[in-house]
Structure 1
Amino acid sequence: MELKTIRYEVMDGVAVVTLSRPHRRNAWTGRMHMEYRHALERAEADKAVRVIVVTGDPEGKAFCAGADMAALEGHSEKGKYDPGTDDTISMPGYGVAPEFDATFAYHFGLSKPVIAAINGAAAGVGLVLAAYADMRFAVPGIKFTAAHGRYNFPAEFGLSWILPRIMGLTHANDVLMTSRVFTSDEAMEMGFLNKLLPPEQLLNHALNHARTMAETCSPGSLRVTKHQIYRDLHRDAASAVEDAERLLNEMIKEPDYKEGVKAFMQKRKAEWKG
């Protein structure tokens, strides 16, 4: 697929996916969603990629300003929601677990962690995209909003499920029931963000964090741990423990277990085989 609204590059084992419609503040369209999922599928298939970083084109002065207003007008004219995608859309993350097989929930089925480097406003679907990342770094003073209340929409794409699990019910209710604008500084206090950083440090911090993860954790461990986290949100503690014990017995037989032990004993970086 030719990428027109997304930039994709790989740097030192990290795939950087940049939302790039700067003339529209990186606003989301069906074309962008098609390209975004294509980029994720590409990163999934690349054995050299260990972690994915998602950010916004800085020229757009936003991470993602939400759905493009032309698309919102189109929904109104058609009298129905039109995602703007077709049957050729890539399916990264699908097929791992039924509870991950839905729009944006597919992030949970990816085998590689996703870090959001939020360098500007994130509204509507921009907030959704940030919420489904595994970790979130942002710059101070930028604006977030769920936005749906202004358009007579429901909380979009599972925000009513994921935000209470990230920031707790009290904060999630405030964000979702008011559709108010809140800042990244507030988001940090709410527990939505991992860290606030100056603009000039944001992307490098996200990249360094990703590289550290890739160096210190085996690809198999990252994949299995990510899937455990999101599966365990749906079940009881005993089931989570039993599944962890089963996985331990399986993974201890893999070459990366022996490599991890040797690297620790020899005080060197592990050479993961994946």
Structure 2
Amino acid sequence: MELKTIRTALADSVLTITLARPHRRNAWTGRMHTEYRHVLAEADRDPAVRVIVLTGDPAGQAFCAGADLAALDGHAEKGRYDPGTTAEIARPGFGVQPEFDATFAYHFGLAKPVIAAINGACAGVGLVLAAFADLRFAVPGAKFTAAHGRYNFPAEFGLSWVLPRIVGLTHANDILLSSRVFTSEEADRMGFLNAVVAPESLMDHVQAYARTMAESVSPGSLRATKRQVYADLHRDAAHAVTDAERLMDEMIRHPDYREGVKAWTAKRKADWSGT
């Protein structure tokens, strides 16, 4: 697929995806969603990719300013919601668990962790993207908002499910019922962010974090642990423990278990198989 609204770069097993519509503050469109899912599907299959970083084109002075206003006008003219995508859109993360087989929830079915590097305004769909990432880092003063209230929309794309699980019910209700603007400092206090990082250091910090994860954690462990975390949101402690024991019995037979033990004993970098 020809990428017109997204850029990608792979280095040191880390794939960086950049939302690239700076003239529109990296606003979301059906074309961007189609390209984004295509790139995620390719990355999920590629053993060279171990961690994914998502950010916005810095020239747009935003991570993602939400849905493009032209798309919002189009919904009003048509009298219905139009996602701007087709039935042929890629389905990354689908087929792992039925609970993940939906728009943006597909992030939970990916085998690779996704880190959001929030380098500016994060509104509407931008907040959704950040919320469904596994880790979130932001620059100081970045503005966040759910935004849906001003358009007579409901909480979008599962924010009513995911935000209470990240920040708790009290903060989630504050964000969702008011649709107010809040800054990265407040988001950090709520527990939405892993850290606030100076603008000049954000990408270096996130890339270093991602590289460390890619180098020090086996691909199999990343995949299994990520799926455990989100699957366990739907089940009780006993099922979580039982599944963890099953996975341990399976994964101890993998060559990467033996390699991990040898590397730790020899105090060297592990040579993961990539599977």
TM-score, scaled to structure 2: 0.99
CA distance in 1, matches of 2:48, 2:204: 19
Alignment match, 2:208: 208
SS of the residue corresponding to residue 157 of structure 1 reads coil
Q: Distance in 1 between matches of 2:85 and 2:178?
A: 30
- Residue 257 of structure 1 corresponds to 257
Equivalent residue, structure 2, for 1:21: 21
* Cα distance in 2 between the residues matched to 1:11 and 1:261: 26
1:151 aligns with 2:170: no
SS of residue in 1 equivalent to 2:63: strand
The one-character-per-residue Cα deviations of 1:106-133 (angstroms, maximum 9, x if unpaired) are 0000000000000000000000000000
Consecutive unaligned residues in structure 1, runs of 5 or more: none
Could you tell me how far apart the structure 1 residues matched to 2:12 and 2:270 are? 16
Match runs of 1:1-274 below 5 Å = 1-273=1-273, 274=275
- Displacement of 1:224 in angstroms is 0.3
Supply the distance in 1 between the matched residues of 2:238 and 2:31 (Cα, whole angstroms): 43
Distance 1:117 1:192 in 2: 13
The residue matched to 2:7 in structure 1 has which SS? strand
Q: Which amino acid in 1 is paired with 2:261? A: V
Name the SS for the 2:47 alignment partner: coil
Cα distance in structure 1, aligned partners of 2:72 and 2:187: 26
Question: Displacement, 1:41?
Answer: 1.1
- For residue 194 of structure 1, report the CA deviation from its aligned partner: 0.1
Over residues 180-218 of structure 1, what are the superposed CA-to-partner deviations in whole Å (9 max), with x where a residue is unaligned?
000000000000000000111101111110110011110
CA RMSD of aligned residues (A): 0.5
**CA offsets, 1:26-70, max 9 Å, x none?**
000000000001111121121111000000000000000000000
Q: Give CA-to-partner distance per residue, 1:159-180, whole Å, 9 cap, x none.
A: 0000000001110000000000
- State the SS of the aligned residue for 2:185: helix
Percent identical among aligned pairs is: 73
Letter in 1 for 2:147: A
Secondary structure, aligned partner of 2:93: coil
1:86 positional shift: 0.5
State TM-score, norm by structure 1.
0.99
* Structure 2 spans left out of the alignment, 5+ residues: none
Q: Take 2:72 and 2:134, find their aligned partners in 1: how far apart are those partners?
A: 28
Separation in structure 2 between the aligned mates of residue 207 and residue 105 of structure 1, nearest angstrom: 24
* Cα distance in structure 1, aligned partners of 2:246 and 2:77: 53
Distance 1:48 1:193 in 2: 27
Partner-residue secondary structure (3-state), 2:94 = coil
| Aligned counterparts of 2:20 and 2:102: Cα–Cα separation in 1 | 24
Tell me which amino acid in the other structure corresponds to 2:61.
Answer: K
AA matched with 1:164: P
Counterpart residue identity of residue 259, structure 1 = E
Alpha-carbon separation, structure 1, partners of 2:17 and 2:87: 22
Secondary structure of residue in 1 paired with 2:117: strand
Question: Which aligned segments of 4 or more residues in structure 1 are displaced greater than 3 angstroms?
Answer: none
Q: Distance in 2 between the 1:200 and 1:47 partners? A: 31
Give, in whole Å, the separation in 2 of the partners of 1:32 and 1:38.
10
What amino acid is aligned across from residue 120 of structure 2 in structure 1?
G
Residue 11 (structure 1) shift: 1.0
Cα drift, residue 153 of structure 1: 0.4
Structure 1 residue 9 displacement after superposition: 1.1
